Structure 1
């Protein structure tokens, strides 16, 4: 049975390993020992922010998935809150076994518990399988997302 918990500092190596374990992740992540200090700094910022949750999925004592959920207040929608899901990954050996779906369902439940009016996410256009995955879970591409790299 898959369980979920907040990530701990000792989980960082496994998390970064998952983030780096795909074509796009290999280009932008640095899975090294020791990890670059930037990951530790980011983790500490996330962990100390009540509106951020870094969640790991565990199976038989092993970390098999990760996602970050950020809760943001907005003036739109009458001052409602929204949840944003980022960095969803499942360890390669467990892909296709429903762990990703369980991660997203967990995020949806967290968003409901925080009384969010919407939950959103983005996926790189090159990740066609991910797009189909999110659509199967009920997400729809209602907006065009734009980014500016700094």
Structure 2
């Protein structure tokens, strides 16, 4: 794949939502929690994200179609001497594009954006069942340093 053939990473627009939600729903975990047939809650959420300068939702577009997505959140904090951190969420690459380096480019984009925003730490979580993703993140320099917990409300 030449550089001109690579998917372009750009900010997401509301028009990208059907493709983004389809990507989020395209695995066993996402299929159980996403609703691609009703975009209403996603439109409201996207508007909240678009209005928040600490949120970056991006897509990768290849040959006119959305083939990947990622959300980066910038979080100021007091711990670590007032460090700002970023959180990578919702990383998805279309099955047709996996193995071509797009996931790596996405994470590199997120790290560079985090540096531009003066973050001292980049963090992410990955479901315990996503062992391939764990190996991918470790190859990119992330360490499994914490045990995470969630509480559904």
| TM-score category of the 2 structures, normalised to the smaller one | over 0.9
1:134 to 118, 134, 137: 137
What are the ranges of 5 or more consecutive residues in structure 1 without an aligned counterpart? none
Runs of 4+ with deviation above 6 angstroms: none
Q: Distance in 2 between matches of 1:146 and 1:28?
A: 18
TM-score under structure 1 length normalisation: 0.95
Is structure 2 residue 32 aligned with structure 1 residue 31? no
Q: Distance in 2 between matches of 1:59 and 1:109?
A: 21
Q: Distance in 2 between matches of 1:47 and 1:106?
A: 18
Contact 2:75/2:86 (8 A) holds in 1: yes
Is structure 2 residue 64 aligned with structure 1 residue 61? yes
Structure 1 residue 61 displacement after superposition:
2.4
Structure 2 partner of 1:97: 100
2:51 to 35, 48, 51: 48
Structure 1 residue 143 displacement after superposition:
0.9
Structure 1 partner of 2:112: 109
Structure 1 residue 36 displacement after superposition:
3.1
**3-state secondary structure, aligned to 1:26:** helix
Aligned pairs (5 A) from 1:5-16: 5-16=10-21
Q: Distance in 1 between matches of 2:142 and 2:63?
A: 30
Structure 1 partner of 2:3: none
Is structure 2 residue 137 aligned with structure 1 residue 122? no
Alignment coverage as a number of residue pairs: 148
Q: Distance in 2 between matches of 1:22 and 1:116?
A: 31
Moved more, 91-100 or 109-118: 91-100
Deviations 1:58-94 (A, max 9, x none): 2222211100000000001221110000000001111
Contact 2:70/2:91 (8 A) holds in 1: yes
